[in-house]
């Protein structure tokens, strides 16, 4: 797991210098999440709450509620207990330290990993975008292709895109699969752009809704003026 931090001033901190100034309690507080997604800040040293995200930068974070020991987990290399508030760290880890079940080196190593995994950054270049697009495209598996309908011939004059999600760029899942992507393109837009090269006309139909629950009001609802929203009338 990796982590990111705001504000950007955190980038200027020297991790080793900050680590030397942290009290034992502050170091231990860093080793457990504050809430579902953030670490405990240290305001007096300018260390903000670090947002936890998936990443390859070296921090080891527990699965949700997957930490069952204080000293053993620290000695085994678990940097961060998640989510917060802490259950087996905090005061329990402080007692383990006083009882010499964990050493200062154990605590320092875990705290340093947390601090060194900030801030989060991204690399957005044409080369990276091309590579990611190729990786996504080659990961798609076509399970069925009746009558060899795909790929569509370039001579095709009309294409219909049907489905309520066709105009939404759904690029990630929820929870730990959530991702703030650099850009997203809906299936309808992608098909339209590709079809334009061959003079193919693309039409869209919403089709049947696939809601699991009643949705909240969205931009598809329009009031009498044609603006996004609804008109409400109350009767008593």
List helix spans (H) across the chain.
15-21, 24-30, 71-76, 91-98, 104-116, 126-138, 187-196
Calculate the CA dihedral of residues 64, 68, 74, 76 and round it to 10 degrees: -90
Q: Residue with structure tokens 């001033």?
A: 9
CA–CA distance, 173 with 167 (Å, rounded to integer): 17
Q: Are 93 and 28 in contact (CB under 8 A)?
A: yes
CA–CA distance, 73 with 81 (Å, rounded to integer): 9
* Active-site position among 35, 63, 79, 227: 63
What does the H/E/C string look like for 39-106?
ECCEHHHCECCEEEECCCCCCCECCCCCCCCCHHHHHHCCCEECCCCCCCCCHHHHHHHHCCCCCHHH
The verdict on whether 63 is a catalytic residue reads yes
CA–CA distance, 39 with 112 (Å, rounded to integer): 13
CA–CA distance, 125 with 7 (Å, rounded to integer): 24
Q: Which residues are catalytic?
A: 63
């Amino acid at each position: 797991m990796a982590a990111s931090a705001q504000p950007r001033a955190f980038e200027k901190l020297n991790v080793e210098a900050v680590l030397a100034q942290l009290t034992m309690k502050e170091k231990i507080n860093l080793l457990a999440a504050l809430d579902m997604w953030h670490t405990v800040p240290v305001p007096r040293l300018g260390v903000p709450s670090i947002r936890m995200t998936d990443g390859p930068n070296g921090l080891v974070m527990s699965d949700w509620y997957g930490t069952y020991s204080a000293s053993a987990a620290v000695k085994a290399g678990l940097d961060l207990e998640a989510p917060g508030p802490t259950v087996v760290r905090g005061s329990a880890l402080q007692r383990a330290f006083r009882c010499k079940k964990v050493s200062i080196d154990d605590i320092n190593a875990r705290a340093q990993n947390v601090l060194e995994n900030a801030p989060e950054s991204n690399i957005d270049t044409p080369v990276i975008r091309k590579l990611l697009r190729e990786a996504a495209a080659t990961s798609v598996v076509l399970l069925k292709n009746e009558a060899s309908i795909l790929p569509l011939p370039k001579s095709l004059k009309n294409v219909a895109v049907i489905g309520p999600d066709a105009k939404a760029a759904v690029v990630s899942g929820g929870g730990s699969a959530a991702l703030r992507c650099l850009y997203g393109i809906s299936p309808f837009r992608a098909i339209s752009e590709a079809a334009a090269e061959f003079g193919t006309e693309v039409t869209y139909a919403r089709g049947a809704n696939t809601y699991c629950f009643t949705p909240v009001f969205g931009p598809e609802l329009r009031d009498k003026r044609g603006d996004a929203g609804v008109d409400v009338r109350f009767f008593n």
